A and B are shown apart, each in its own frame.
Chain A
Amino acid sequence: MRTMTYGEGIREGMRIRMMEDPNVIIFGEDVGQFGGCFGVTAGMYEEFSGERVRDTPISEGVIIGAAVGSAATGLKPIAELMFMDFSTVGMDQLVNQAAKMRYMFGGKIALPMVVRLPSGGGVRAAAQHSQSLESWFTHVPGLKVVYPSNAADAAGMMLTAIDDDNPVIFVEHKAIYAIKGEVPDVIEPIPFGKASVKKEGTDVTILTYGKQVYDALSAAETLAKDGIDAEVVDLRSLYPLDKEAISASLKKTGKIVLVSEEVKRGGYIGEIAAMIAEEFFFDLDAPIQRVGALNTPIPFSGELEDYVLPNDIDIVNTVKKLF
């Protein structure tokens, strides 16, 4: 085992495949000499050359479009958008092109492309640089959406993302890039659609992903002091969704709290809640609960942002409603 930050884990996953396969390339805004807005690609320009770690103009449409076109013709591109919020500018290429081509063409094309989307709030970046928009992508058949929470998962899931023949939306939370974690000496691909139980428990399931895994673990500690034994499940992969893990945990606890940083209205955890109600209703002994951000844009002022975003105390309070 070795220790890496979350950002380094992402980089390590990309490096491994880039060393093995010359057709894996990275492009995006300032990913080259600058090393990426959040430093995730730092050193890669020097290591792999400007041909393979390409700085693009500020043109999100063609960043995604070039990923589509190059993936369709023999490359395995990794496109970085500086902020998930900027996906709006490249949305046609993601939704109408990347997600649709395989289906529209009768399955006769592969699109092995990864789009990295730094997301989330907590860094005082206000309404256009802080959003969590993963439900936009989970809503679109044809896209896979993954959201690792730690260095080891980030590295292993990056390998899987690059190896995948489908467009993969790789969501990263920008506030946890510096969090360190243990990473195996030999990094292996982590299959999509497999959740990870971060803490076992018997009284309630806290199902979450991304940065909120840390909030959930912190909430679980607090709850333990009150005699509530919470299980924390990190989804890791939003689509494909590990329904079995959800079911297994629910069978144990009978109660579930879904946590996400998306605004609550229309967020992906709403979809999961509906699925649970449809398919696992009889395993529930209490109403499904959701914790999300308030239904507002993300404000700038620290006090306001902290108020709008969900935190560990919100999780504790919501869990307690069930007991």
Chain B
Amino acid sequence: MKLSNEKILSMYDTMLKIRKFEEKAMGLFAEGEIPGFVHLYLGEEAVATGACATLEADDFITSTHRGHGHIIAKGGDMNFMMAELYGKETGYCKGKGGSMHIADRSKGILGANGIVGAGHNIAAGAGLSVKHRGTDQVVLCFFGDGSTNQSTFHEALNLSSIWKLPVVFICENNGYGISMSQERHQAIKDIADRAVAYNIPGVTVDGNDVFAVYEAVNEATKRARKNQGPTLVECKTYRHRGHFEGDPTMYRTDEELQEWLEKDPVKRMEKFMLENGILGQEDLDSKTAAIDEVIATAVKFAQDSPKPSLESAVENVYSDIVEEVKVR
């Protein structure tokens, strides 16, 4: 498949934004600036990037606890994201969601999700909505290998298959469900094999190759838009960091990590562009500097933003009820 240089550059831009955002989040967490749990997408950038590059603005995605990459790739605003990581009033969720719950309905981002596997069913529902309303939107459902052992995986794929819902199920197989390696948590190697059970196409691709991801997901979204139903796309990848920041990763070896660092999707993309004369080293450097600046702006925006008011704690539980705080 021949992609335009413009498309390639745009994909590189997304990957780099994710990489830089996550590196910054990693540092800020280590400094104690960001509270709570942070699950970083470092190493998996090619999946969200390649997959979301096939989408239109009004398409939908569901995400996971490791959601920053999906949200950036779907056009999420990094100022609002960073402010949410800081728990500030200007954050995407007004400081009520945090890293694991960032959403932007206006951009079709139906939420990162703290419950492993919950997105499967929500994606099926969004697919039902698209089908019922008769638009040609698609839904990308991102999830990890660990979630494919949840009942939701089976329920959502079965329903999407019998109703031919326009959902692309994208498994980011990073080899671990928290600390449990794939070979310990399931008896199959390729999760795409499970597509057979739903009579839908299942493909396995190199998840660190952004073009391979793009190609497979593009094929799947085309099918979905033509009312041909769901596809299961498995992207084999690896997270450079632990499950969460602070995870000592005793369950994997340094050799394994090194092996995957060699296959770093961002470096691989850079090499591709240099070798193909799409960008020179200077262009890469200036792009990196530009994105560093965007990230720095996001951090400053977050730091300068006010904390949420205590009154806001009781708001947004319902659209129309705010309980008065009288008796605790």
Contact = CB atoms under 8 A, between A and B. Distances in A.
The answer on A and B forming one complex is yes
B3 interface: no
Contacts of A97: 113, 115, 118, 122
Interface in A30-76: 51, 54, 56-57, 59, 61-62, 64-75
B159 interface: yes
A71 B125 CA distance: 8
Interface string A219-260: 000000000000000000000100000000000000000000
Interface stretch (A103-111, A151-159, A178-186): A103-111
A41 B87 CA distance: 45
A102 B123 CA distance: 17
Nearest to B141: A69
A65 B122 contact: yes
A108 B133 CA distance: 22
Contact of B152 (A62, A74, A75, A165): A62
A65 B153 CA distance: 12
A23 interface: yes
B316 A69 contact: no
B121 A68 contact: yes
B65 interface: no
A101 interface: yes
B149 interface: no
A56 B97 CA distance: 32
A268 B318 CA distance: 20
What is the size category of the interface that chain A forms with chain B?
Answer: 35 or more
A92 to B, nearest CB: 6
Contacts, number: 152
B118 A72 contact: no
A72 B317 CA distance: 16
B318 A73 contact: no
B250 interface: no
A295 interface: no
A62 B155 contact: yes
A99 B127 CA distance: 21
B173 to A, nearest CB: 22
Given A96-B118, A107-B94, A279-B327, A65 B152 contact: yes
Nearest to B60: A73
Interface residues of B, number: 49
Contact of B105 (A51, A67, A108, A165): A108
A69 B97 contact: no
A97 B123 CA distance: 12
A107 B103 CA distance: 11
A266 interface: no
Contacts of A108: 92-93, 103-106
Given A77-B125, A104-B101, 20 more contacts: A23-B133, A54-B163, A59-B155, A61-B151, A61-B155, A62-B155, A62-B158, A65-B152, A68-B121, A69-B110, A69-B124, A69-B127, A69-B128, A93-B118, A105-B96, A106-B97, A107-B316, A107-B319, A142-B317, A166-B318
Interface of B: 60, 62, 91-97, 101, 103-106, 110-111, 113-115, 118, 120-130, 132-133, 151-152, 155-156, 158-159, 162-163, 315-321, 327
Interface of A: 23, 25, 27, 51, 54, 56-57, 59, 61-62, 64-75, 77, 92-93, 96-97, 101-110, 141-142, 144, 164-166, 240, 278-279
19 contacts: A23-B133, A59-B159, A62-B156, A65-B152, A66-B124, A68-B121, A68-B125, A69-B123, A69-B129, A72-B105, A96-B115, A101-B103, A105-B105, A107-B94, A107-B315, A107-B319, A109-B103, A141-B317, A166-B319
Closest 8 interchain pairs by CB? A69-B125, A65-B121, A107-B316, A106-B94, A66-B125, A62-B155, A106-B93, A69-B122
